[in-house]
Structure 1
Amino acid sequence: MQKALDLFLRQKRFDLIFKYLYVKYPHNNFIKQAYLENIRAFNDFYEDDPSYKCPKESPQDFLNSFDKLILSIKDNNFIATNNQIPIGKNNEISDGAHRLAICAFLDLNIETKEDDSDELYDFIFFRKNNMSKDIMDYGALEYVKLHPHAYIVNLHSITDRDKDEEVYRLLETYGFVFYQKDVQLSFNGYVNLKKISYGSFWNQESWIGDTHNKFAGAQEHARLSMGQNPMRVYIFVCDEFEKVVKAKQEIRNLFGIGNYSVHINDTKEEAIALAQIYFNQNSLDMINYRSFKYESSKIDSLIQRLMSLAKEKTINIDNICGSGSTPLNVYGLRESSDLDFLCCDENNDNFNIQEEDLSNHDSELIYYPYPKDEIINNPKFHFYYKGMKFISLDILYQMKKKRNEKPKDIKDCKLIQHAKKNRRLRGDFKLIQKNKIGNKREIILFGVLKFCYTKNKNKG
């Protein structure tokens, strides 16, 4: 007998997270669609020998069966002797994924049995079966939020792709890889990333710089991390931080370019922040477009204030989405004087804030192209900044075009059109291929920049 959640968190099975979320959020329509997309990629809505002899030949059959199973286990708990979860030779469950997800959420104990199977339904299986990239990314982000030992490995674009298999095997030695994705970053994106990793979750490291020197240290670190390849991002599950440090050092030894080859988060907060960027296309668009020189202390302080108020009122921050003109501020397109937001939390009635610089935007919902629940829950319609969701530029454009307040909305629509046209091309730096001698010289020079930093945290 063991904790279902413990077994759940040891599995590479990529479909488990969608089943878990379905149990946790039974009224969330987007999660229902994500679950169905996961089933489509798994078996195209057909089970030849379904459990309990209930037919499973359509999306609705799967929903009905899952709903009945959830109610049954909630009412009767989990009778372990009659419902053992089979474990294959590869230590992965071979059946009972729905049962395991339900029991994990309900914090029940389960019993397992061994069998001879060796199937592996990991992220590679679902990617080969053409599962939606956006939904796979969504599941990856939610997994990082859930798993206490999920780390984000940033294999920088300067590194040789020919060694990716060695990196993968090395990570598997110390834990396991739950997910992997290639990420394209502009120079803006890379510098913004350095500002997050080295300045957001502890006292900002002085070497990255500030607005007065245009974050010179972060710029240099980004330039020495960039190459012709995409960044390769891994969700790495490891039960001991000491093993994470060893894995990071061995990867650095593999490439021989010091800290510029790989970064792995130290804190859970950073893991979630990085996942919110890498596993949401709107977030990637924003971080690549937003000038690394741009800072807005006013909007940052309003975000912190809103988050504090939400915590006081026991409002889940994931159920809040910045709206109005605030996304234009986050993108660096123009300053906004206040922070408007949408909220779909069950405690929403207690969160109808109407202040001069902070206000619930429900009064403007008639102009939005989708219901607020859809905007807040569907990753296609929002991005993340400072741990909070904001409506995408596409949603903002449609809202302002329909509302058509003159001249503000007309001007903002032009700003958005310009940003949408150029956001994938923008960058304040043109990367030039460096020869080995030049690259070595620049690394030495950057070492001088960091000489005064004496904390020796080695957080690269």
Structure 2
Amino acid sequence: MLEKRVHANTLNYYSVPDGAEIYSAAPLDLMNGARLDVLARYVYARAKLSGIGVAWAQFCYGSMLNGQTNGFARAGEYDPGKSGLSDYIEQFDRLIESMRARGFAIDELVIPTCDGTIVDGAHRVASAVALGLESIQCVELAGARMVQNYQSLTRNGVPESVIESQVLELIRLKPKSRIALLFPCVGTRSSQAAVTKFQECFDVDYVQNTPVSMNALINLMHLSYGHHDDWWSDHHARSFAKNRYRAAGELSVVAFQEQGRDVRGFKDALRVDLGKDNDGLHTTDTHEETLLLAETLFNANGRHWLSFADLSGAKTPRFDRFLQRFGNVTTQAGAADRVAVDSGGVLAAYGLRDVSDLDYLEAGGEGSFDEGGDINWHNAKYDVVDGLDAEAIVSDPRNHFYFHGVKFAAFHVVQSLKEARNTEKDLKDFLAMKRAEKSTIGDDLWVYLRTTRLVIQRRIRQGFISLFHITTRLMKRRLPDAIYLHIRRLYRALFKKS
């Protein structure tokens, strides 16, 4: 009977329909924005297998579990025998090793799905994707679709840095991922209506609303349209940005799945509704273009680069030449994701100065691409910076950003290095970086204040959620079970969102 191939607890909420059969599915096909939490498991499994970025992967995995279990207060309820992150990691590690040795065991539990989304077995699906398995066994159940999307994770207190990194991982895995940009000139109401239309017609993985300055829009125009090398120029970037700008306006970014639908026809019709011709809406046409935008927009350091980089008058011929060579070599070696340009290269990416050479960091390697002249391995330089090393910079998106598809150490990371070393050259660079941040704040004070307010709001919300988790754990330990369960039922009835 199929019921014996499904976890007993799952059958408390779902049923096996008459005529249901086991079917094979590519594990990657079961990855989607409705179960964004599975991506955190995938990131951990991949890091465990490679040995690179394990600390960041544990943070992602732990943040997701912390939100789903009310700070692990309900870990035992969901997963008997588990009381904290270490229990989950220990069992997950065993599963990864088992699947590496045996593959997906066809004689064990299958993956239950509902409306194409998994309802149990997230760790096995994530491990299967990380291991590159071609197929796993599933069964379609009857019941409500399980949703752990970006909105659910946000309500659960998962940090924005984790959510954005999972969205980016999903985009990397899904070649049909696309991005739509609704520019400030559209206006808030029209933008919200357009987002709703996207949600009605496509599987939307993420929606981001962010204040943008004119400088940020200029840089975004270069990213979005700069591949038209035959006619594109800084003049075009400024003209495009001016047409799309609106004071005190926000940029809405929609990450969605193309799914073989007529995106161009949808875009043309929506542009008519918005009444801004091409100025109101842009959608990516290729996976490469989608990834280029996602790497910048779905990362706080990338958005910092948009806001503060000034490439209009930048003359960086050596940097441009070294970067192209470095990008080609690391990509061909399959190592692009475990290296990051740092030091003077970061200043060049912001348009502050050219470089005499290109320094880089490497996770899981020692100078694999060091040429001893133009391109140099820089890991040891960070010994002077407390709490930072090459792996933390390369693997943790809170410490890096992307510039034209190449990973760079974050602006604040290089500032810390310059301040810690404090040579004459470092001091000059440090002051130039400080001036760069101040120079564009005056260009759009509203953006600066709005962004600061959003950061404060997120920190306050995160604090309240953490306090709720602590209170829940305390009540569970101190109160009799009957009273605790009564309070929990009352809370769910009054406040819990579906």
- Are the structure 2 counterparts of residues 104 and 3 from structure 1 closer, same or farther at C-alpha, using a change threshold of 3 Å? farther
Q: Which residue of 2 aligns with 1:417?
A: 434
1:309 and 2:334 matched: no
Contact kept? 1:19, 1:101, Cα under 8 Å:
yes
Residue 328 of structure 1 is matched in structure 2 by 347
Q: Measure the CA separation in 2 of the matches of 1:91 and 1:364.
A: 49
Distance 1:109 1:99, change over 3 A: same
C-alpha distance in 1 between matches for 2:268 and 2:225: 18
Task: Report whether the alignment pairs 1:198 with 2:225.
Answer: yes
Question: Please, which runs of 5 or more residues in structure 1 have no aligned partner?
Answer: 431-460
Q: Deviations over 1:368-406 (max 9, x none)?
A: 33111001111222221121122222222221222222x
Q: 1:147 aligns with which of 174, 198, 204?
A: 174
Question: Given the alignment, which residue of 59, 63, 86 partners 2:89?
Answer: 63
Report how far residue 79 of structure 1 moved.
Answer: 3.1
1:188–1:292 Cα contact (<8 Å) kept: no
**Any conservation in 2 of the 1:11–1:92 contact (CA below 8 Å)?**
no
Aligned match of 1:364 = 381
Residue equivalent to 2:101: 75
SS of the residue corresponding to residue 158 of structure 1 reads helix
| 1:36–1:248 Cα change, 3 Å | same
The question of whether the paired residues in 1 share the 8 Å contact of 2:358 and 2:375 is answered with yes
1:258 deviates by: 0.9
Instruction: Show the counterpart of 1:443.
Output: none
Query: Which of 24, 31, 44 pairs up with 1:22?
Result: 44
| SS state at 1:322 partner | strand
Query: 1:389 and 1:63 mapped to 2: Cα distance?
Result: 29
Matched, 1:178 2:199: no
Counterpart position of 2:136: 109
Corresponding residue of 2:112 = 86
**Conserved? CA contact 1:289–1:427, under 8 Å:** no
- After superposing on structure 2, the runs of 4+ consecutive aligned residues of structure 1 that deviate more than 6 Å are none
TM superposition score normalised by structure 1: 0.83
Partner amino acid, structure 2, of 1:234: V
1:205-354 paired onto structure 2 within 5 Å = 206=231, 208=232, 210=233, 215-227=234-246, 228-240=248-260, 243-295=262-314, 296-312=316-332, 314-346=333-365, 348=366, 350-354=368-372
Kept in 2, the 8 Å contact 1:188–1:291? The answer is yes
Is the 2:215–2:308 Cα contact (8 Å) retained in structure 1? yes
Counterpart amino acid of residue 131 in structure 1: V
| 1:417-456 matches, cutoff 5 A | 417-426=434-443
Give, in whole Å, the separation in 2 of the partners of 1:48 and 1:3.
31
Per the alignment, residue 99 of structure 1 pairs with 124
Q: Give aligned pairs, total.
A: 413
Query: Taking every aligned residue pair, what percent have the same amino acid on both sides?
Result: 23
Q: Offset at 1:164?
A: 4.2
Counterpart of 1:444 in structure 2 is: none
Cα shift readout 1:43-99 (whole Å, capped 9, x = no counterpart): 232334556x5x1221111111211222233333223464222223x4432222112
* 2:30 paired residue number: 8
Residues of 1 paired with 2:342 and 2:117: CA distance? 43
> Secondary structure, in 3 states, of the residue corresponding to 2:117?
coil
Task: Give 3-state SS (helix, strand or coil) of 2:249's partner.
Answer: coil
Q: Which residue of 1 aligns with 2:75?
A: 47
Report the CA distance between 1:193 and its aligned residue: 1.3
What per-residue deviation string (whole Å, max 9, x for no partner) do you get for residues 98-127 of structure 1?
122122333232222313133321111011
